């Protein structure tokens, strides 16, 4: 099972790009957390050498590719997007009913980006406590 989940994660990491949408971001973090938890649990048992080797290899991939590269890029992009849309949406100009209702969709996107950033920051907090 660890092999399968680890391969799934490897696929997600290989195809990760800076402009991933919210669903893709959540999916990759979920898989990282899932595989990391399995690794911690399996290391506490008497795992076979080849499994142990795969665990260490996967942890290295998470650390070197995801934590050091992909995660900071996602975090930075979310922050930039949030700052830009907050500034755009703070305009004081008079708006028509149609403009207000169209802006409401952008506010909804902003809320989603903010809660995703919160989730991403939570991952970072967990990392710093490890």
Partner 1 sequence: MIEELGRKIVELKKEFVRGYDGQSQIQEIIPKSFPIPEYHLEQLHEFAAKNPIYYNSFEKKIRDTDCVIYEGDINRYWLNSIEHDSSKAPFSPTWIMSGYIAALFARELGYFQVIDIGSGDGRIAFCAKLLEMKSYSIEIDCTLVELQKSLTHTLDFEPYCADAMTFDYSSLNLTRPIFFIGGLAQMGGATLASGVINAVSNPDAGWVFPGTLSKKYALDPKGGAGWGTLIEDNHLNKVQSISLPTAWTLHETDETLYVFAESQISNPN
Q: How far is the CB of 121 from partner 1 (least distance, A)?
A: 15
For residue 67, give the nearest of 123, 105, 114, 113 by alpha carbon: 123
Q: In terms of CB distance, is 60 or 111 closer to partner 1? A: 111
- Candidate residues 75, 103, 109, 123; the one interacting with partner 1 per rule CB under 8 A: 103
Q: How far is C-alpha 104 from the chain's CA centre?
A: 25
31-35 own/partner pairs: CB under 8 Å, 24+ apart = 31/5, 32/62, 32/66, 32/123, 33/123, 34/5, 34/9, 35/2, 35/5, 35/6, 35/9, 35/62
Site for partner 1 in 105-124 (CB under 8 A): 107, 110
According to CB under 8 A, which residues from 41 to 100 bind partner 1? 86, 89-90, 95, 97, 100
Nearer to partner 1, 63 or 115 (CB): 115
What residue ranges bind partner 1 (CB under 8 A)? 86, 89-90, 95, 97, 100-101, 103-104, 107, 110
């Amino acid at each position: 099972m660890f092999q399968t989940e680890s391969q799934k994660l490897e696929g997600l990491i290989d195809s990760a790009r800076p402009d991933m949408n919210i669903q893709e971001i959540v999916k990759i973090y979920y898989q990282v957390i899932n595989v990391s938890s399995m690794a911690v649990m399996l290391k506490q048992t008497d795992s076979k050498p080849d499994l142990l080797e795969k665990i260490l290899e996967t942890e290295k991939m998470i650390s070197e590719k995801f934590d050091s590269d992909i995660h900071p890029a996602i975090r930075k992009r979310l922050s930039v997007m949030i700052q830009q849309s907050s500034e755009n949406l703070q305009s004081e100009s008079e708006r028509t009913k149609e403009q207000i209702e169209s802006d409401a969709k952008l506010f909804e996107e902003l809320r989603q980006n903010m809660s995703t950033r919160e989730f991403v920051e939570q991952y970072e907090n967990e990392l710093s406590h490890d």
